Amino acid sequence: MVTSKALQTSQQDNSCREDLVYHRRRSLPLYLHSMPKPSAPSRPETKPLEARQQDRSRLLQHRAERFFPGGVNSPVRAFRAVGGDPPFLTRAEGAYLWDADGNRYLDYFGSWGPMILGHAAPSVVRAVQEAASRGTSFGASTPSEADLAELVQQAFPSMERMRFVSSGTEATMSAIRVARAFTGRKLVVKFEGCYHGHADALLVKAGSGVATFGIPGSAGVPEETVQHTLALPFNDIAAVEAAFAHHKDQIACVIVEPVVGNAGCIPPAAGYLAALREITQRAGVVLILDEVMTGFRLALGGAQERYNLQPDMTCLGKILGGGLPCAAFGGRVEIMQLLAPLGPVYQAGTLSGNPLAMAAGIATVGYLIEHRERVYPQLEMISAAVADGVAQAARQAGIALGTQRVGSMFTWFFQAGPVTDYAGAARSDLAAFATFHRVMLDQGLWLPPSQFEAAFVSLAHTPQDVADTIAAARHAFAAM
């Protein structure tokens, strides 16, 4: 039962939506049914393939390179793994993105995960505007922090206490600090291909951009900093047992993406997560589920709900902030009460719990809670249709394509598969992926620009979008 005042407001906002969504044309995205008449058409024609202009984006890239290394503020945005110039985006609505040259793209990366409701969802935009009109940052406590925490706890009851931060990187590094303090031990176990943000100790054999650029870790990280990090192969319980036997009473925590998204989508083998839980519990080691990507996406309660798992600590981000900078770490009371000001573990943030991020988070998570019975089946249906439809087109074209999907996150690996770990993902045909990516982009389909990233479906994606995607993929396969 949702009780916060903030959500009660959003319930009222959503009540007409409920009626409209399932009794009118089903092909419209969920929230568009409740939108006031848009001033601009929400679905202008996609320009034909040969007409994709790139001149303005190219100029903007050159200008950006005068200020930012590689012209970007986060490395995978530079499109180095797939080649070509990255389009500069100027606007997004629903499932669509528009670039500076006026090209429209159907979005399958959702800002790397947060945009589960689609872009510029009216209820989120309204919530942020209202919050901004009351002040954008106070550096003091606000009621909205507990409003959002109340919603988070409904979805993730294992987070008995939590703290809001501004990025997933902060969430994971802070969780590890508390876990080390709680156990009085130093070693951190992570898994190859998992990415937990860019804190020094976690860049060992990491996924995402680290895998995309093929670098083993990062320059500028002293050996001493990573000597307490053990990187093990994912989905290999024997490797975990061996590490625990070898480093008896030295391991503070195990941190894992329960479904790997940052090496492409790699599901856990049957029983793998339960075995991790059992081994860590037996050894008094803190199990941290990094649900920055999977939280609110694989189920309302993330992977821990989907796989029926009770971690000691959880990290959230992305969807939690509804597209604004917000993340959280939390878990058992006895661990979390070690944080300052109650305990000796220091952690802080000027913009933590920022009121705009709280407002966007409440609007987004509130919507998911309120509509959970319909949201997750819809995501499942659309995601299965697009992932399997493209897989079938590949089979018909004689292209080796392995499709891996859990809920609304998926990857098309350019190999027969299945992929069970990072080493397997790295055996993909990266040149074929780059070609596929380029041809899809030219047809107005925006996929994540690396084989080592998951694609995402939002509630704004429609069956027509699925059909368009499959048609574009057929064209791409024919060109390969």
Ligand X SMILES: Cc1ncc(COP(=O)(O)O)c(C=O)c1O
Catalytic residues: 195, 290, 318
Q: Quickly tell me which residue has 């089979």 as its tokens.
A: 395
Backbone angles phi, psi at 107, to 5 degrees: -95, 120
Please choose, out of 124-132, 168-176, 218-226, 356-364, the segment that lies near ligand X by the rule CB under 6 A.
168-176
Of residues 290, 305, 421, 465, which one binds ligand X by CB under 6 A? 290
Is 273 strand, coil or helix?
A: helix
Site for ligand X in 100-139 (CB under 6 A): 112
Nearest C-alpha neighbor of 288 from the set 336, 246, 343, 323: 336
Is 164 strand, coil or helix?
A: strand
Of residues 293, 336, 386, 440, which one binds ligand X by CB under 6 A? 293
Q: Which is nearer to ligand X, 7 or 324 (CB)?
A: 324
- What's the min distance (Å) between Cβ of 145 and ligand X? 19
403 lies in the binding site for ligand X (CB under 6 A): no
Please choose, out of 14-22, 102-110, 191-199, 470-478, the segment that lies near ligand X by the rule CB under 6 A.
191-199
Contacts of 197 (CB under 8 A, 6+ apart): 167, 168, 169, 170, 171, 172, 173, 292
192 lies in the binding site for ligand X (CB under 6 A): no
CB 80 within 8 A of CB 213: yes
- What's the min distance (Å) between Cβ of 294 and ligand X? 8
**Number of helices followed by number of strands (H, E) in the chain:** 16, 14
Tokens of 327: 């993340």
- What's the min distance (Å) between Cβ of 349 and ligand X? 13
Q: Which is nearer to ligand X, 195 or 244 (CB)?
A: 195
Of residues 292, 319, 320, 441, which one binds ligand X by CB under 6 A? 292
Contacts of 111 (CB under 8 A, 6+ apart): 323
Tokens of 105: 């793209």
Q: Which is nearer to ligand X, 261 or 444 (CB)?
A: 261
Alpha-carbon distance of 57 to 78, in angstroms, equals 12
Of residues 34, 174, 183, 262, which one binds ligand X by CB under 6 A? 262
- What's the min distance (Å) between Cβ of 371 and ligand X? 24
Q: Which is nearer to ligand X, 320 or 466 (CB)?
A: 320
Q: Which is nearer to ligand X, 261 or 361 (CB)?
A: 261
Q: Which residue has its beta carbon closest to ligand X?
A: 168
Q: Which is nearer to ligand X, 103 or 167 (CB)?
A: 167
Is 330 strand, coil or helix?
A: strand
Residues that bind ligand X (rule: CB under 6 A) add up to a total of 17
CB 278 within 8 A of CB 132: no
- What's the min distance (Å) between Cβ of 199 and ligand X? 9
- What's the min distance (Å) between Cβ of 121 and ligand X? 20
Which amino acid is present at 199? A
Q: Which is nearer to ligand X, 34 or 354 (CB)?
A: 354
- What's the min distance (Å) between Cβ of 313 and ligand X? 13
* Long-range pairs of 294-297 with CB within 8 A, sequence gap ≥ 24: 294/257, 294/258, 294/259, 294/261, 294/409, 295/155, 295/156, 295/319, 295/320, 296/116, 296/155, 296/320, 296/364, 296/365, 296/368, 297/113, 297/116, 297/407, 297/408, 297/409, 297/456
Of residues 86, 168, 217, 366, which one binds ligand X by CB under 6 A? 168
Q: What is the contact surface with ligand X in residues (CB under 6 A)?
A: 112, 167-169, 172, 195-197, 208, 257, 261-262, 290, 292-293, 317, 327
